[in-house]
Structure 1
């Protein structure tokens, strides 16, 4: 059986590092303050949930589903106004975090592409025309 992306990326340790770096960038980048403001002052719960979601999403233990049920990502994010700007802020932080993980470049790009599609799916606000 082929190793899962979870295994290829480095398992729990690497995934926790990715999530930590993602939220580190969300916390410090002025360009990401729009999405940072959507989170609680402490990012501990968000980090835990994202780690658990990514674990199952990448083929590791289904920690999120075991604790919270089906992710229903769009429904869970619907209370937050997410447009292209918010998606781009999220991806800015994630791209910076992904760039730091030591893994096969093709795997990194496959994950990046899948996350871009996922982030686009979270958009729930229409773009305003100029």
Structure 2
């Protein structure tokens, strides 16, 4: 049985997805400032490794970085609801730039569902203007 990674074209497709995403992030007013100017290539590589491994490709992420621990690795970055939504918006543009022949709707849906869950999971800051939580 082949993996989703193989079914959608493997390294080429995932490289296109990640490159399209980061091409937008570099000039984005919400996400861009979260990245150090001297590590764009590293950030892009790490996302590519993660997505590749998650969807059944080579386990390069684990080999190079260890277990993903996404919440822990993203905690230093101020990810509120607006940042999560923007991440999804930019990823959707990139995903939609890849034709349905390459990523058929069923696989696209699986990928998008995962992206939505991860974006929500990584929120680690309250939105501006949100009243502070009260102890019960």
3-state DSSP of counterpart to 1:37 = helix
State the shift of 1:9 in Å: 1.7
Structure 1 equivalent of residue 97 of structure 2: 100
CA contact (8 A) 1:25 1:96 kept: no
State the shift of 1:129 in Å: 2.9
The within-5 A match list for 1:34-113 is 34-42=30-38, 43-102=40-99, 103-113=103-113
Question: Deviation per CA, 1:27-60, whole angstroms, max 9, x where unpaired?
Answer: 24xxx32111100224111111111111111111
Give the TM-score taking structure 1 as reference length.
Answer: 0.91
Q: Tell me, which stretches of 5 or more residues in structure 2 are unaligned?
A: 132-136
Once residues 36 and 109 of structure 2 are traced to their aligned partners in structure 1, the CA distance between those partners, rounded to angstroms, is: 30
Count residues with an aligned counterpart: 126
Structure number with the higher helix fraction is 1
Q: What is the root-mean-square deviation in Å for CA atoms of aligned residues? A: 1.3
Q: Tell me, which stretches of 5 or more residues in structure 1 are unaligned?
A: none
Once residues 53 and 15 of structure 2 are traced to their aligned partners in structure 1, the CA distance between those partners, rounded to angstroms, is: 13
1:33 matches 2:34: no
